[in-house]
Copies of this chain bind each other. A is one copy, B any other.
Amino acid sequence: MGADDERRVTITAIAQEAGVSVPTVSRVLNGRSDVAPGTRERVEELLRHHGYRRRGSRGVRRADLLDLVFNDLDSPWAVEIIRGVEDVGHAAGVGTVVSAIHSHSTSTRQWLQNLQARASDGVIVVTSHLIPPVHAQLRRLNVPVVVVDPAGVPATDVPSIGATNWAGGLAATEHLLGLGHRRIGFVAGPPHLLCSRARLDGYRAALEAAGAPLDERLVQAGDFYHASGFAVGSALLDLDDPPTAIFAASDQMAFGVYEAVRQRGLRVADDVSVVGFDDLPEARWASPPLTTVRQPLVEMGRLAARTVLRLGQGEEIEAPRVELATELVVRDSSAARPR
């Protein structure tokens, strides 16, 4: 977004090409209702095609802005994504507007209005079901959208960036199997999230491949936060035939499991192996340091920003869905099965 985009189209150019007057294009742009459907469509097509964006008079450069939307800002997760996006945005002279919509419809509407007023160049949505009407509205505004860590199977026309959750679930479980564990508990994430399901499937696939029994009582869902890890971890450890290892679908839940283990007078690693997912900064500093599956959150943010910026310039994206590699980081919370 430097000097290279000085040559952007004006509504005058669009009007000419569409064979309509300037005011008509202006009306389409502002979502006024008094435009014939055919005209509207033709103009919108051209606006989209040229990647039109409103400009001020003469050399008045518009603000270059990019919207980064979370459901909530209460996870240590969020700041990693922000870092990645900000990094790329900053370098490109694009500001990163961070919002939390709390899955609340009035909040979402408010946000959409704000977004429109600030004429954002692109939107990055993190782990969210952006409801279809919002999508439609964004399309009308001609704002490119990229989804990070898609909540559900993303629409094919919206680029998405995720991590290889299935492979991560597989790797973590194989690691525990390799240490001799056979009864491996799984603290899943919320079942409606795609990433949760992929991690769970990876866990199952590893067990199956190893010919280990799949005991459904060993699988229970949490909500990614500490408390649920503690609750589910406790439930698993209180089973008649408790697991010797527990794989949690988030680091925070893994720390909750730590607590559950300790509360029972057991030791992490020595008595119960624990593996997490995310590799938050604190994983390295937990005691014992947590074995976990690393998600490249900063890189995901970076890629999302680059993608949405390129989209904004009218460039084509090669792959609409990208998954960045996860990586198993072995530390001290996992050990050979006690005999």
Of the listed stretches A111-119, A132-140, A166-174, A240-248, chain B binds A111-119
Interface pair B100/A86, CB less than 8 Å apart? yes
With contacts A107-B90, A117-B64, A285-B255 taken as known, whether A97 is within 8 angstroms of B97 at the C-beta atoms is: yes
Interface pair A82/B73, CB less than 8 Å apart? yes
Which of B63, B83, B90 makes the CB contact (< 8 A) with A119?
B63
> How many chain copies?
2
A100 to B90 CA separation, bound complex (whole angstroms) = 8
Of the listed stretches A189-197, A208-216, A256-264, A309-317, chain B binds A256-264
A259 to B281 CA separation, bound complex (whole angstroms) = 15
Please indicate the chain B residues that have their CB under 8 angstroms from the CB of A63 in the complex: 63, 65, 117-119
Main secondary structure of the interface of A (DSSP, over half): helix
**Residue of A74, A117, A258 with most chain B CB atoms under a 10 A cut-off:** A117
Interface pair A95/B99, CB less than 8 Å apart? yes
Which of B78, B83, B252, B258 makes the CB contact (< 8 A) with A74?
B83
Contact sample, A vs B, 22 pairs, CB 8 Å cutoff: A57-B57, A61-B117, A63-B118, A64-B118, A65-B95, A73-B79, A73-B82, A73-B86, A76-B76, A76-B282, A78-B79, A79-B79, A86-B100, A90-B100, A90-B111, A93-B117, A95-B115, A95-B118, A226-B281, A226-B282, A256-B285, A287-B287
Interface pair B98/A110, CB less than 8 Å apart? no
A164 at the interface (CB under 8 A from B): no
Q: How large is the interface on A (under 10, 10 to 19, 20 to 34, 35 or more residues)?
A: 35 or more
Contact with B along A165-209 (1 / 0, CB 8 A): 000000000000000000000000000000000000000000000
**Chain B residue at smallest Cβ distance from A30:** B59
A337 to B78 CA separation, bound complex (whole angstroms) = 40
